[in-house]
Amino acid sequence: MHDDDTFAITEHLEKVFTQAIATAYPRFSNVPAIIAAVNASPKFGDYQCNNAMGLSKKMKDEGINKSPRDIGLEIQRCCPASPIIEKIEVAGPGFVNIFLSKEFAVSSLTRMLREGVKPPKVPRKRILVDFSSPNIAKQMHVGHLRSTIIGESISRLLEFLQHDVIRINHLGDWGTQFGMLIAHLEDRFPNFLNESPPIGDLQEFYKESKKRFDADESFKKRAYNRVVTLQSGEPAATKAWQQICDVSRKEFQKIYDRLDVTIQERGESYYQSRMLTVVEFLRNKGLLELDDGREIMWPDVNKSGIPLTIVKSDGGFTYDTSDMAAIRCRLEEDLATWLIYVVDAGQSTHFHGIFKAAERAGILNPNIHRVDHVQFGVVLGEDGKKFKTRSGDTVKLSDLLDEGLKYSLKQLQERGRDQILTPNELVEAQEAVAYGCIKYTDLCHNRISDYIFSFDKMLDDRGNTAVYLLYTYTRICSIARNSGEDFSNLAEILDKFQIVLEHEKEWKLVKTLLKLHDVLMKCANGLFLHFLCEFCYEVCTVFAEFYDNCYCIEKNKAGEICKINHSRILICEATAAVLRTCFHILGLKPVAKI
């Protein structure tokens, strides 16, 4: 009936109704249709076109008296045929209620089961996502964890939408702190040129060198000297720098492996020569101003806001300089047209300044490029204060993940799962629950707000939690498995059985599943993933309603299977497929047994 159903329903209806409005009232042909999904009662339809009141007001302003109801009826009359609309009703004072076609739903679902869940079609873009980005020799803290989790999911979402995504780890691997680290390395591990130094704890090493730097004048001098030799590319200093970076790099990689995060390293050091050229570029454009020995740049022509420091009074560069070099490289060399920076809200002034300055310098063109600072709030402890260990230290991420594993194992044991699952299945379930709940808790809140980190809350199996979703998913998977029939080849089943939508709860569930594309578009437009979490939760609760009311498998008194409802099991399989797609984006590992 239609060759392409990989579109978002709301978007399709917007087109249809915009056309209806234009046909009904040519003078309002530029009024976009307002479409909303209806969750209240099915008698008001599944979607609503809410333009009648607004149009009536507009007409009144022009001296024409038309009731919203009449306008609604006119929109209804002018609506072009659409394969996805069953009927349109005008209710009350002008609500245009749209009822989805069951035939369309069945064909969409059938196609999804045959071909897999397809993304909605959008124009392909090259998008650079800057996320995680911890600093060498310093602790990767919970702020970096949030950036890692959110950035990975945003990348997955945009990749699912078929964009060309470049994932960048903007490591803090350059700067004056390396002078003291190198000098300290030379003293502690004089043989560093020939063998990798056995630095166990780089944070400790950092603290030691900082202590010496603050207390010992001659060490301080050597440290400064080492910055200069490093920047001039001297081999020994470069080697020492690499050795230090390697220690951190290995630690970071362990976290990425555990969380299943893929990211390409391109730290601040990558921009060494580009910082020189961007400074030249800005200077030649006359955008740099001397200020107390520094060279600064105002992001705004009228000098409002805070200026960027492009060159320090000692000739060195800053975080601002490297981000100016980076934005230029990303737009002009990588040819990305959308840049996404996943960094805590504390840096919003910095990014606002960088974006404005890049625009002022002609590097960024808002008509072609989109830039987003995807900011997020802080993680709080259960006491509502900044997240710390009991002894008041910053929390080590590897310890946090270990603790998650302990909690999740305990929960699985309490449920007696260690008796049922094989040792491998148990480990798989343990990791899926532990890492899944840490990621999901982060993603399910609006990222702008702060949230409280609590393993007890995240491991709750009721409410909008990873545990609830994972359990629902495995329950859905077990339905086909327990039918005694082979559902592994869905195409074969679909050749023999049709999906029928008779029961009200079947219809409700299917309509919910069909919202997937709308939700994905909404998440991608605003770069908010909590909408996808809310959707997963809705799918699971609507599924529970369906499962409570609709038998998929009927058993006789002796407990033997006497009837299998293939259509309903197909609906279960479609639900599982939709959840799997969402889980992939959210970084949850679906496990068949838990």
Q: Which residues bind ligand ARG (CB under 6 A)?
A: 130, 133-135, 170, 172, 323, 326, 341, 343
CB of 326 to ligand ARG, least distance (A): 6
When the beta carbons of 348 and 413 are compared against ligand ARG, the nearer one is 348
CA distances from 58 to 25, 52, 85, 555 (A): 12, 10, 28, 61
Amino acid at 260: D
When the beta carbons of 339 and 576 are compared against ligand ARG, the nearer one is 339
The tokens of 281 are what? 């570029």
When the beta carbons of 122 and 357 are compared against ligand ARG, the nearer one is 357
CB of 288 to ligand ARG, least distance (A): 20
CB of 323 to ligand ARG, least distance (A): 5
Return the CA Rg of the chain. Answer: 29
Sheet with 294-297, side-by-side order of all strands: 289-291, 294-297, 308-311
DSSP-assigned letter for residue 7:
S
CB of 170 to ligand ARG, least distance (A): 4
Closest CA to 307 of 359, 360, 350: 350
CB of 299 to ligand ARG, least distance (A): 15
Is the sign of the CA dihedral 515, 518, 522, 528 positive or negative?
Answer: positive
When the beta carbons of 134 and 590 are compared against ligand ARG, the nearer one is 134
CB of 449 to ligand ARG, least distance (A): 20
Strand partners, 289: 296
When the beta carbons of 343 and 540 are compared against ligand ARG, the nearer one is 343
Question: DSSP characters for 95-154?
Answer: EEEEEE-HHHHHHHHHHHHHH-PPPPP----EEEEE----BTTS---HHHHHHHHHHHHH
CB of 141 to ligand ARG, least distance (A): 8
When the beta carbons of 326 and 434 are compared against ligand ARG, the nearer one is 326
Backbone angles phi, psi at 425, to 5 degrees: -65, -35
When the beta carbons of 37 and 345 are compared against ligand ARG, the nearer one is 345
When the beta carbons of 135 and 465 are compared against ligand ARG, the nearer one is 135
The tokens of 369 are what? 């490029």
Q: Provide long-range contacts, Cβ within 8 A and 24+ apart, for 494-500.
A: 494/110, 494/113, 494/114, 494/570, 496/566, 497/566, 497/567, 497/570, 498/106, 498/567, 499/106, 499/109, 499/110, 499/567, 499/570, 499/571, 500/106, 500/567
Closest CA to 299 of 365, 373, 351: 351
Q: How far is 360 from 298, CA to CA, in rounded Å?
A: 9
Q: Which residues contact 538 (CB under 8 A, 6 or more apart)?
A: 512
Q: How far is 129 from 154, CA to CA, in rounded Å?
A: 8
When the beta carbons of 133 and 430 are compared against ligand ARG, the nearer one is 133
When the beta carbons of 266 and 568 are compared against ligand ARG, the nearer one is 266
Is the sign of the CA dihedral 116, 121, 125, 128 positive or negative?
Answer: negative
Q: How far is 297 from 326, CA to CA, in rounded Å?
A: 16
When the beta carbons of 193 and 448 are compared against ligand ARG, the nearer one is 448
Q: How far is 454 from 403, CA to CA, in rounded Å?
A: 11
When the beta carbons of 136 and 401 are compared against ligand ARG, the nearer one is 136
* Neighbour-count burial of 512, counting CB atoms closer than 10 A to its CB (0-12 exposed, 13-18 middle, 19+ buried): buried
Q: How far is 594 from 577, CA to CA, in rounded Å?
A: 18
CB of 486 to ligand ARG, least distance (A): 50
CB of 555 to ligand ARG, least distance (A): 57
CB of 184 to ligand ARG, least distance (A): 22
Is the sign of the CA dihedral 255, 259, 265, 268 positive or negative?
Answer: negative
When the beta carbons of 270 and 440 are compared against ligand ARG, the nearer one is 270
CB of 58 to ligand ARG, least distance (A): 45
Q: How far is 59 from 69, CA to CA, in rounded Å?
A: 13
CB of 129 to ligand ARG, least distance (A): 11
Give the residue nearest to ligand ARG (CB). Answer: 133
CB of 343 to ligand ARG, least distance (A): 5
Q: Which residues contact 345 (CB under 8 A, 6 or more apart)?
A: 375, 376, 377, 448
